[in-house]
Structure 1
Amino acid sequence: MSFRRTTSSLLEEQTRKNGHFGDTESSLASISTNPYQASRKEHKIAHWLSYFGSKNPLPVPIAADDVVWLMDNTAFRGQSGEWEAEFVAAAFDQQPSAKVVDIVGDIASKVGLSKGSQEKKTVERRIGPFVMEILPGRQIKVKFNGSSQLKLGPGGRNGISSDIRRVPKATGGSMVRSTADVPMGVVGELEMVTFFAEPEGFAVISDIDDTIKITQTSDPVGILTSTFVSEPTPVPGMPELYSRIRDLVTPSAPFFYLSASPYSLYPFLREFRDQYFPHGQLILRDANLLTISGLLSNLTLGTEKYKMDRIKKIQRWLPRRKMICIGDSTQSDPEAYGEACRAFPGWIKLVLIRKVTDIAAIGIKEKNEPSRFEKAFDGVPR
């Protein structure tokens, strides 16, 4: 384990200790993701076959009372020169967990909402993706650009499928819309956008939480409030900055929004992105998909390793692009971007780190110390 990674882990540990994350996580109502309960629609054979993930020989089709999410993606030129894209999709049961009342009450209590508060309705609405039962082993059909049919999945045990598929030709910089080819009655994120990125030019990788969206990632109550109660708020000045960057690098430059938030927040973050920032692919974490305590741990544990893994994926897609990386000092963005600069010399042309100025107020002023950034970017040309 390198010193840089150790530094990142120590900062995460200190953040969690000072913010009493463990106490908050253990006190939140748990939401069962028991595979048998999540697979209550299935026969036992279909349940066990779902353990094979994408190699499942008998995937289950989408039914009229399912929920389907299609997630925006980016097409790139594969080794053959043909257009390819990674398609990420998820399937859930429309019937929510019976524990929805408990979890709404727990969150309301944690953030200090009074009894009968109207804001509880907001909590109940946003908690929806966390209380839907996952549906493993589903195959989702998609009409790409209204014509070509793609078959995605079958999904794994977490209900998510991730597939590289060839797609029809399109002009670089264009955006193509596709829809889920599903039975009447299916709801969810049924439309997606594919952005076609040619191999060369600029591109942007941006963090989300406390870089462009106020999340308060160093405070568990702050995370719960910003996620389930408050209107999502952009960091002041960042929408204008990103608009300026898009103008400078041209609208044909792809944007990637890389967050440690779980995929449960995809609809919430997609709406936020569309309201304030340039279109781009949301790359989120697929661990702990359906737990509130998982949301807190996703944002505070192992973020450097996770982000570096996803940066490597983007580099494989677009190795000749000139990358601009934007992050903040609350998480491990400096360490992740520094590691990426060393791993791929010359690929990243600019790193911008927002120093979050309320860090000292919660006892983590070390995150903004110059020595931290010197270590994170050791060996990286200024």
Structure 2
Amino acid sequence: MSFSFRRSTSSLLEEQTRKKGKFSDTESSLASVSTNQARVSRKEHKLTHLLSYLGSNNPLPASIAADDIVWLMDNVAFRGRGGQWEAEFVAAAFDEKASGKVLDIVSDIAGKVGLAKGGEEEKTIERRISPFVMEILPGRQIKVDFNGSTPLKLGPGGRNGISSNIKRVPKAVAGATVKSTADVPSGVTGVLEMKTVYAEPEGWAVISDVDDTIKITQTSDPVGILKSTFVSEPTPVPGMPELYSRLRQLLDPSAPFFYLSASPYNLYPFLREFRDAYYPHGQLILRDSSWMTISGLLSSLTLGTEKYKVDRIKKIQQWLPRRKMICIGDSTQSDPEAYGAACRLFPQWIKLVLIRKVTDVAAVGIEEKNEPSRFDKAFEGVPR
């Protein structure tokens, strides 16, 4: 018996981009200096290691120690079953001790982007590379003090050190922003404070891509990605901060923003700082499939992005099914195909799609990606 399947336009464009940009060559050369997720951390007892495969069902989670690193991710609260307020809490835990390969990785990236050895930029690379070389701590439970009054237990995390839990939260007025802090031993560092924005079921909301939509990333060039991520000052796409500021003014104050990126969660602190500097506050939704590898950064931005984004859009729709959605993306990745698929899945939910046709970067195959026929196919069956 034979089977056949038709690859999507986005997967074919990804394949073309990776081939012409020689992504595989760059990734294979980076693989030798990647951390090994499979190894057991120096802090990981055999029982903790074994039980961490159970993820949130782990009956004996480990606690956070004074020399650990914790990240708490901003989120959006919505009304769940019975009208109760809920929110998805995402957190991560790491060992403070980084991999011994830091200097090798810094030198390798510096060489690939054309920097002289020992240059000042290597300090920037070393600082930004740290989330990729810290050892993850699976099976950890993180305590959080929500709004100064409600204790929450997040996790335990799975094998990638990340936990994701839907938790009930106290009532608050629509549009309110509530701060929470990690209830951890003294000495713990990281992103120890998070914000929760309360969004009522009805009104407007925005789903926005990040790379080459609001931030210049050069996702069609592996060296460009390494440079924009680890060396260059993060730069907003010209005109986009003003557009988003205007959108914030036009929409109701409680309208939530979701920044949906194919970047791995390793870049959360980096992208959080960029968001706060140039754009309205919102929930960053990032990818966890390539955790703890530099080569994984390149693959996460260029492989399977349509499927990943549609999956996350489905999750947002489950949270806020009665909101009117605006989706904003660009032509370098699979945004047209992902948003087109979402429009067909939820025809009354998405009210507007804006695609930035990228012409100001030397992207591989950008002419084909900007062809009208591509957009016609991506949005087939969607009202113009």
2:35 is aligned, of 17, 22, 32, to: 32
Contact 1:359 1:368 in 2 (8 A): no
Question: What displacement does 1:46 show?
Answer: 1.5
Contact 2:44 2:137 in 1 (8 A): no
With 28-37 and 166-175 compared, the bigger mean Cα shift is at 28-37
> Are 2:118 and 1:125 aligned?
no
Distance 1:156 1:149 in 2: 21
Q: Amino acid of the residue matched to residue 202 of structure 2?
A: E
Structural mapping, 1:181-196, within 5 Å: 181-196=183-198
Deviations for 1:198-257, whole angstroms, at most 9, x for unmatched residues? Answer: 000000000000000000000000000000000000000000000001111122100000
Q: What is the aligned residue count? A: 380
Question: What displacement does 1:346 show?
Answer: 1.1
Q: Which residue of 2 aligns with 1:157?
A: 159
Q: Which residue of 2 aligns with 1:96?
A: 98
**Structure-2 change in CA distance of 1:35 and 1:363 (3 Å):** closer
Deviations for 1:77-129, whole angstroms, at most 9, x for unmatched residues? Answer: 00210100000000000000001011001100000001221000000000010
Q: Secondary structure at the match of 1:176?
A: strand
Q: Which residue of 1 aligns with 2:259?
A: 257
**Structure-2 change in CA distance of 1:359 and 1:236 (3 Å):** closer
Q: Which residue of 1 aligns with 2:14?
A: 12
Deviations for 1:164-216, whole angstroms, at most 9, x for unmatched residues? Answer: 00000111101000000000000000000000000000000000000000000
Q: Secondary structure at the match of 1:150?
A: strand
Question: What displacement does 1:360 show?
Answer: 6.8
**Structure-2 change in CA distance of 1:308 and 1:317 (3 Å):** same
Contact 2:359 2:366 in 1 (8 A): no
Question: What displacement does 1:2 show?
Answer: 7.7
Q: Which residue of 1 aligns with 2:219?
A: 217
Contact 1:178 1:192 in 2 (8 A): yes
Contact 1:288 1:295 in 2 (8 A): yes
Distance 2:250 2:5 in 1: 36
Q: Which residue of 1 aligns with 2:333?
A: 331
Q: Amino acid of the residue matched to residue 198 of structure 2?
A: F
Q: Which residue of 1 aligns with 2:46?
A: 44
**Structure-2 change in CA distance of 1:2 and 1:206 (3 Å):** farther
Distance 1:370 1:103 in 2: 41
**Structure-2 change in CA distance of 1:317 and 1:17 (3 Å):** same
Q: Amino acid of the residue matched to residue 219 of structure 1?
A: D
Distance 2:247 2:82 in 1: 31
Question: What displacement does 1:263 show?
Answer: 0.2
Distance 1:35 1:169 in 2: 41
Q: Which residue of 1 aligns with 2:173?
A: 171
Structural mapping, 1:75-94, within 5 Å: 75-94=77-96
Contact 1:50 1:56 in 2 (8 A): yes
Q: Secondary structure at the match of 1:60?
A: coil
Q: Secondary structure at the match of 1:304?
A: helix
User: Aligned Cα RMSD in Å?
Assistant: 1.2
Distance 2:35 2:230 in 1: 20
Distance 1:239 1:261 in 2: 20
With 246-255 and 139-148 compared, the bigger mean Cα shift is at 246-255
Q: Amino acid of the residue matched to residue 153 of structure 2?
A: K
Contact 2:107 2:117 in 1 (8 A): no
Q: Which residue of 2 aligns with 1:317?
A: 319
Q: Secondary structure at the match of 1:256?
A: strand
Contact 1:359 1:365 in 2 (8 A): no
Distance 1:155 1:379 in 2: 41
Q: Secondary structure at the match of 1:41?
A: coil
Contact 2:340 2:379 in 1 (8 A): yes
1:367 is aligned, of 366, 369, 372, to: 369
Structural mapping, 1:342-381, within 5 Å: 342-358=344-360, 362-381=364-383
Distance 1:98 1:311 in 2: 38
Distance 1:36 1:131 in 2: 13
Contact 2:80 2:319 in 1 (8 A): yes
Distance 2:250 2:226 in 1: 36
Q: Amino acid of the residue matched to residue 271 of structure 1?
A: E
Distance 1:335 1:194 in 2: 30
TM-score (norm 2): 0.97
Gaps of 5+ in 2: none
2:62 is aligned, of 60, 63, 67, to: 60
Q: Amino acid of the residue matched to residue 136 of structure 1?
A: P
Residue identity over aligned pairs, in percent, reads 78
Contact 1:14 1:364 in 2 (8 A): no
Question: What displacement does 1:364 show?
Answer: 3.6
Deviations for 1:14-55, whole angstroms, at most 9, x for unmatched residues? Answer: 000111100100111432234433x32122112111111111
Distance 2:260 2:143 in 1: 26
2:268 is aligned, of 257, 260, 266, to: 266
Q: Which residue of 2 aligns with 1:243?
A: 245
